[in-house]
Amino acid sequence: MARRGRGWYGQVAAAAMGVTAVAVAASLWTSPAGPADGSTRARSAERPAAPGAGPKAAPVPVEIAHASDRGARGVNITIDDGPDPVWTPRVLKVLEEYGVKATFCMIGPQAQAHPDLVRAVVAAGHRLCDHTVSHDVTMDKKSEAYQSRQILDAERMITEASGGVRPLYYRAPGGAFTPYSRKLAASHGMRPLGWNVDSKDFERPGTSTVVATVKDEMPNGPTVLFHDAGGDRSETVAALRELLPWLKGQGYAFGFPVR
């Protein structure tokens, strides 16, 4: 898998340690029982549990997933690097217009900064994916302790931001998986998630190029990579608006990566 440069992630990485420290401190004084009046428990009882909710995640396979739960003609839309207050709502709107569910691979501090967007993603029926704390594309060269912090801190941030819904997948930045990181994620119920089609939207090559890239590479497999953060994502939104009906017209069924 091709690796992308650090770009804007340098800023995220610089802030990540401080954000993590604040979150850890908060966990020391927050009662695990929740509000004394039981309001959170009452609200939870009013609706079915979302995928990934619950006290403990069951382990999943350690192999990197590429297939779709909709079979040979399935397609998985995956959205990386958010949530972003400008672009995530626009991506959500396009997905809603075409009745498509997607998997959002979120950066921990981004999720913590925008819990309303994380909950909007969950409420719309999409799935969450752990995309680490600082999007370090060289983390496969780092210690296991470092990998663990990147993965588990992000898992906690995303779960807290969502209101208790855990990420169901783990996507290594730039594909920087290791046997250790895959095993760790899987033990926490997060299936390692790859991709088959890189839309190259991160490079902002133009909407027509993004569309052409996806169409040309669809024979490679069902999991398609887009982004909703990291800069101007107007080309991504425009490309999705063109590609989603095209994929339906080609007989594809939208699903989620296998678990």
Q: Tell me the catalytic residues.
A: 80, 227
Q: Which residues contact 184 (CB under 8 A, 6 or more apart)?
A: 147, 148, 151, 152
Give the three-class secondary structure for 202. helix
User: Where do the H-state alpha helices sit in the chain?
Assistant: 9-29, 39-45, 87-97, 108-113, 115-123, 144-162, 179-187, 207-217, 234-249
Residue with tokens 């941030």: 157
Provide the token pair at 124.
Answer: 């719309």
18: left (phi over 0), alpha (psi -120 to 50) or beta: alpha
